[in-house]
């Protein structure tokens, strides 16, 4: 059922692309826009992971440059029955992480330096397990494709704002272009939000099962949400359509693009994990300072 819902939402995004084209250029504009949508989908399928990683200046690491992180991901991937994904580090003080890739065989996980400095090993394991759950469920392709289409809709709407809109041989209609530039990205954001929100609870549940400590993931979510609230992420603000990829929405919420959250409320996710912990009989205590990965900020092994 979730797959059908996601397919319908992606179809709605593609249809919205055509509607935008129609308002900006009539029937010809709609055909052109739908053609662009098809090309965008194909391009996103093969390149969405590279685009997302490049947008956040992610650097690939290995056993030599980040041995603890890579070892942790390898262990969790083994538990999840997944191929080892590529591992990236993002030089950003905001604690956050995301996964991307068109399938488990071509997947990647990325963690910010901020999250590595903020979380304990157990908490980081919960976060990485959550990202691996997205890979296992093939959510990464869905979210990256939706991000690419939503970004394209915003771009074509802005293009119409500058060059005017019209149907057929009619003169350009500035009002139509302005309304399209405002409404189209907003509609794309709402659809993208619906795609993302329905998948976070499931990734939390499966991630908790992979790492075996639901409360560790709950503790991580609390710390990440607190960090996001106080530490801006400039790259995410410049590329807001990538927000659904992250475990916690990285946007500051100060602009129009942030009126609607792409993630469920953190407190609701934590409550769901606490309920799961009671079912699993799981217990977790935050580690003392100085334990592996540490509770206090420190530099990672990549320098």
Task: Give 109's strand partners.
Answer: 87, 99
Is 152 within a domain?
A: yes
Whole-number pLDDT of residue 111: 98
Count up the domains in the chain and report the number: 1
Is 289 within a domain?
A: no
Is 292 within a domain?
A: no
Is 178 within a domain?
A: yes
Non-local (6+) Cβ contacts of 54 within 8 A are none
Is 295 within a domain?
A: no
Q: Say if strands 97-101 and 107-112 run parallel, antiparallel, or are unpaired.
A: antiparallel
Is 64 within a domain?
A: yes
pLDDT at 67 over 60: yes
The side-by-side arrangement of strands in the sheet containing 107-112 is 59-61, 86-90, 107-112, 97-101
Is 303 within a domain?
A: no
Q: Classify 164 as helix, strand or coil.
A: coil
pLDDT in tens, 80-124: 999 999 999 999 999 999 999 888 999 999 999 999 999 999 999
Whole-number pLDDT of residue 301: 39
Is 291 within a domain?
A: no
- Higher-confidence residue of 240 and 120: namely 120
Q: Supply the mean pLDDT for the chain.
A: 78
Whole-number pLDDT of residue 255: 47
Catalytic residue positions? 131
Q: Classify 226 as helix, strand or coil.
A: helix
pLDDT in tens, 260-269: 566 888 999 9
pTM of the model: 0.73
Query: Range of 95's domain?
Result: 2-280
Q: Classify 283 as helix, strand or coil.
A: coil
Q: Supply 152's token pair.
A: 């394209």
């Amino acid at each position: 059922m979730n797959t059908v819902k996601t397919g319908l939402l992606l179809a709605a995004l593609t249809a919205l692309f055509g509607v935008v084209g129609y308002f900006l250029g009539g029937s010809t504009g709609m055909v052109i826009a739908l053609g662009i949508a098809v090309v965008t989908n194909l391009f996103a399928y093969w390149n969405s992971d590279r685009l997302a990683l490049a947008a956040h200046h992610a650097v690939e690491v290995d056993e030599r440059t980040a041995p603890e992180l890579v070892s942790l991901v390898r262990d969790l991937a083994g538990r999840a029955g997944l191929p080892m994904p590529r591992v990236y580090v993002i030089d950003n003080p905001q604690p956050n992480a995301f996964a991307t890739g068109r399938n488990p065989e071509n997947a990647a996980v990325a963690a910010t330096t901020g999250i590595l400095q903020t979380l304990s090993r157990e908490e980081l394991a919960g976060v990485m397990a959550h990202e691996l759950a997205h890979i296992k469920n093939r959510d990464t392709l869905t979210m990256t494709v939706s991000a690419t289409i939503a970004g394209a809709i915003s771009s074509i709407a802005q293009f119409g704002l500058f060059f005017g809109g019209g149907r057929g041989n009619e003169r350009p209609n500035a009002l139509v272009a302005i309304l399209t530039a405002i409404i189209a990205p907003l509609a794309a954001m709402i659809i993208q939000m619906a795609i993302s929100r329905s998948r976070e609870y499931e990734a939390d549940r499966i991630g908790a099962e992979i790492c075996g400590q639901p409360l560790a993931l709950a503790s991580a979510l609390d710390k990440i949400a607190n960090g996001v609230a106080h530490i801006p992420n400039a790259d995410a603000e410049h590329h807001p359509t990538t927000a659904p990829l992250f475990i916690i929405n990285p946007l500051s919420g100060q602009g129009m693009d942030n009126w609607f959250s792409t993630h469920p409320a953190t407190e609701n996710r934590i409550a769901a994990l606490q309920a799961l912990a009671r079912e699993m009989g799981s217990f977790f205590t935050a580690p003392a300072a100085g334990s592996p990965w540490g509770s206090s900020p420190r530099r990672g092994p990549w320098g």
